[in-house]
Structure 1
């Protein structure tokens, strides 16, 4: 059985994984949802992107976990990917759930699809924070109750975590990894992910849902995570 560290994306905390964690535990795994600094119940803590990497590494070490599966959703793929190479032989697999992946020397903002200046302008409008946009839920396979749950639990995302560059010691394709692509959020992985999927150590899994599968299809996501322990 594996020990899952579950890290949600922008605006979210450990609470986002409640349903998935319950199913993983029922299957006999350890499940450890983690809130990153500056978010949810830790929103008063200062945070940069390397703070988030340390949050993840520190949690693995604090709990003295082995056979670890690190799971990063959306933005959290960036710190999770960096943490994965820093926990050594404690790692069994890293799973990116419709996630960004770290690129050495690049930030979330520098890789923003509309360009870095557009993203930085959004941070300026939010006084240094990235605000949740309700329009992002459209077409993502969420019902009104699920949308309400996400919106009511979300907190503004600290901008420094999005503008600081990633630091990688080696090619991410050397790590054992699964990429979960949520098809309602785009049928193809981005170019950085597509390159990594050429590695023999990476595999692709598709879900017929949107960007927040821990809400829209938690049982199916838990099943996929469970299957990753047999990869």
Structure 2
């Protein structure tokens, strides 16, 4: 089974290198994706462009696919579940939750000159970045790719109720499974409140476990694949 790895904002597909190597060692087939606007210099890329890239990877797979979305890309993984519910073995959501229909994809920070640059570390003070040392932070900042406005402000459109049949694993880095369950039960995550099969996995990391805990993250993803 292919495991599609979709990074969040500002991330090139190469951020999954450690996870991909560990998954290969466990006998799985990782497919890290570099999305339009996340490494090709195309500031005109849109959310639809990114979704089409993920869907193309799903369609190219010989069998069922596990799609993994990180942070904002949890919505991209869920959009994939909406468009290809019969092709997915499951959706893994790392450090984030899917946006509702009609909501902006990731309109979180200031857009300048058509892109949303990395805003620096102040918004991520605390558990998000506590496990990133200065060297890791410098490397992240240097590699961060500004997000095209058409991606950040793209509107999420969900149309197929069968997405709620797709098994979901929520990987909890800077928050706990108990907190995630509380948010869902309180109605803060309507899409997952309607999902029929939601499991949770804890990981001792900040917001970017593919950087700080790649082997453990790979183990969690491999277990999710094996469960399917």
- State the TM bucket, normalised to the shorter chain: 0.7 to 0.9
Q: Provide the secondary structure at the position in 2 that maps to 1:78.
A: helix
The 4+ residue runs of structure 1 with deviation greater than 4 A are 184-187
Is the 8 Å Cα contact of residues 65 and 90 (structure 1) preserved in structure 2?
A: no
Q: Distance in 2 between matches of 1:192 and 1:56?
A: 26
Structure 1 counterpart of 2:89: 92
TM-score (norm 1): 0.84
CA-CA distance at 1:75 after TM superposition: 1.2
RMSD (Å) for aligned C-alpha atoms = 2.4
Is the 8 Å Cα contact of residues 70 and 95 (structure 1) preserved in structure 2?
A: yes
Structure 2 counterpart of 1:48: 46
Using the TM superposition, name which of 156-165 and 135-144 deviates more: 135-144
Q: Is 1:156 paired with 2:152?
A: no
CA-CA distance at 1:11 after TM superposition: 0.5
Structure 1 counterpart of 2:208: 212
Q: Distance in 1 between matches of 2:31 and 2:106?
A: 28
Q: Which runs of 5+ in 1 are unaligned?
A: 113-118
Specify whether residues 205 and 64 from structure 1 end up closer, same or farther in structure 2 by C-alpha distance, changes over 3 A only.
Answer: closer
Q: Provide the secondary structure at the position in 2 that maps to 1:4.
A: strand
Structure 2 counterpart of 1:60: 58
Structure 2 counterpart of 1:37: 36
Q: Distance in 1 between matches of 2:202 and 2:47?
A: 28
Specify whether residues 90 and 100 from structure 1 end up closer, same or farther in structure 2 by C-alpha distance, changes over 3 A only.
Answer: same
CA-CA distance at 1:184 after TM superposition: 5.5
Specify whether residues 153 and 52 from structure 1 end up closer, same or farther in structure 2 by C-alpha distance, changes over 3 A only.
Answer: same
TM-score (norm 2): 0.85
Q: Which runs of 5+ in 2 are unaligned?
A: none
